[in-house]
Each structure stands twice: as structure tokens, then as C-alpha cells.
Structure 1
């Protein structure tokens, strides 16, 4: 019944593409969050990236934010409420549809997003230092090609013109 030795099964389950991608993503988030906290954004948690990475600088309906993030409206509503409470976003009724809520950044939220863009560059620079310039370009190229080949849309429709832009490698 057990045709694979236990050690081989453990290695296969813990050392595969999925695990490597998750580990890399967790490391990137951990480094970014640490730098975010160092810049004074101490109320930000990993879960809030679902909100901020899908908001951009424009006002967006809660339903669209949830859709972009691939989470329920209730879950996104909770994140928005948390960030509204600490001053990063504000929400108001959509004048074209009184049932809908519009979410937008406050001045503090704009500061966070600007800081976050700098932080992403800093983390990429750390990765480049460890992997070399060609290594980081190769990694991004393989990931970008994979996303494209698999038909994975990683950006909202109105951001699609940006999807082919490459990262700035220090």
C-alpha cells in the first residue's frame, strides 16, 4: 500500500513548486511588512495586502475590490472597516447606486501606497543582491511567462496595459 518511502513522500510534499512559490511569497510579504512597520505603518497586517494591492489610487466599489482580490464582499468589507478605523481608507455611498459603497484612500493611505512602492523596490533590491541581476530578471520572466501561458489574470481589467511592464531591478 505504501509504495513511496515516508521520507520520499515528505520531501515530495514539502519541496515542490507550490511550496517554493508559497515560501517565496511569504518571504517577500514578511520583508515588506517589516519595512512597512519600520516606516510607522504598524497597524498594517499581511491580510491588508488584499485591499491595498487591489485598490490603486482610484476610488473603487467594494464589490469590485472583493472581486479583484478573489475574496467575499464580507471579507473585503471587514478589511475596509479595519483600515477605515485607523485612517487609511474612507468609504461613502456611490451616488449612481445608493446601495454600493465607494472605497478610496485617505492622505495617510496615499502615503502608505507610496511607501509600499518604495518598499517593493527595496525588497527586490535585496533579492537582486542575493540572486544577481540576471537571476531576478530570469525569475520574473519565468513567472510572467507562466502567468501568461496559464491565462492567469493577475490585474484588474482596467490595469491590463500595465501587465507587461517589468520590475525595476537595482
Structure 2
């Protein structure tokens, strides 16, 4: 009895999950060991200049209440800070704090290292083709592009 091949979405998920876990493991090893996967998924969606909580919840596909709890933990750990929104005096923005910026820089280096490994495995031409193909697919799949 043969098993059906996984769907394309499953293949994407497997690669994403592998990268996500390696980055989180690398962050923990570098001393950023108080951030959870759920917190990291929200934190990764914070814009450098700041993001409103409702936008973070939408981007992370969680409720506003869940995003609030995760952001509270990130703020307590020094990864984010809340600042006034310059476009709306009633609103607050969540933006990376100093510790968060250091964690983001480290995560970007880890991400680049993983992509370099993938490129060595696939070859430069296949990796370039994969990136072009994914960019085209993003046109119809990413509501935040």
C-alpha cells in the first residue's frame, strides 16, 4: 500500500517549521531563552517603527486577547515596548525594544545561515528558482504582501 505524497502546503509547512525551530533553538542558545514559539510568532510580525495590537493579532492569526497576553509577556521580558502612535493619540504601537532588536538581528543571522545551507543542498540555480516561484505564489496567497 503506497502513501499519497503530501500536499504542496505540507511541504511548505515542513520547511517553515524546521527553520522556525532552528531559529528559536539558536535564540535560546544565545541567551534569549525566555521567548516561546507563540511569542516569537507574534514578535516576528512587529514592524520596526511599531505595529498596533489589532494588526499583530490579524497577522499572527490569533485573537486580540491572545495577542495582548503574548505582547504583555514580550514587554515584561524586554523584547517590545509600547509607544504612542504618532497618527492617533488614542492608540499605542508595539515596537521592538533594545533587547528585541538584538534578538531580531541574531534571528536574521540564523535565518541567513539556514538559507545558505538550503542553497548548498539544492544548488544556487534551484534555490533561485524556488525563490522566484515562491515570490510569484505570494502574489495570490499573502494578504499582507
**Structures share fold, TM-score greater than 0.5:** yes
Structure 1 spans left out of the alignment, 5+ residues: 1-6, 156-170
Query: How many angstroms apart in 1 are the aligned matches of 2:133 and 2:40?
Result: 23
* Shift in Å, 1:38: 2.0
Deviations 1:10-50 (A, max 9, x none): x22x6221221111111111121122122211112222233
> 1:94 and 1:144, CA in 2 relative to 1: closer, same or farther beyond 3 A?
closer
Which residue number in structure 2 is paired with residue 21 of structure 1? 12
Query: How many angstroms apart in 1 are the aligned matches of 2:54 and 2:16?
Result: 26
Equivalent in 39, 42, 48 of residue 51 of structure 1: 42
* Shift in Å, 1:109: 0.9
Structure 2 spans left out of the alignment, 5+ residues: none
Which residue number in structure 2 is paired with residue 64 of structure 1? 55
* Shift in Å, 1:102: 2.3
* Shift in Å, 1:92: 4.8
Please say if residues 52 and 113 of structure 1, whose CA atoms lie closer than 8 Å, have aligned partners that are also in contact.
Answer: no
Please say if residues 32 and 120 of structure 1, whose CA atoms lie closer than 8 Å, have aligned partners that are also in contact.
Answer: yes
For residues 1-170 of structure 1, what are the structure 2 equivalents within 5 Å?
Answer: 7-8=1-2, 11-12=3-4, 15-92=6-83, 94=85, 96-98=88-90, 100-148=91-139, 150-155=140-145
Q: Secondary structure at the match of 1:102?
A: strand
Query: How many angstroms apart in 2 are the aligned matches of 1:92 and 1:105?
Result: 10
* Shift in Å, 1:107: 0.7
Greater gyration radius: 1
CA RMSD of aligned residues (A): 2.1
Q: Secondary structure at the match of 2:78?
A: coil
> 1:92 and 1:154, CA in 2 relative to 1: closer, same or farther beyond 3 A?
closer
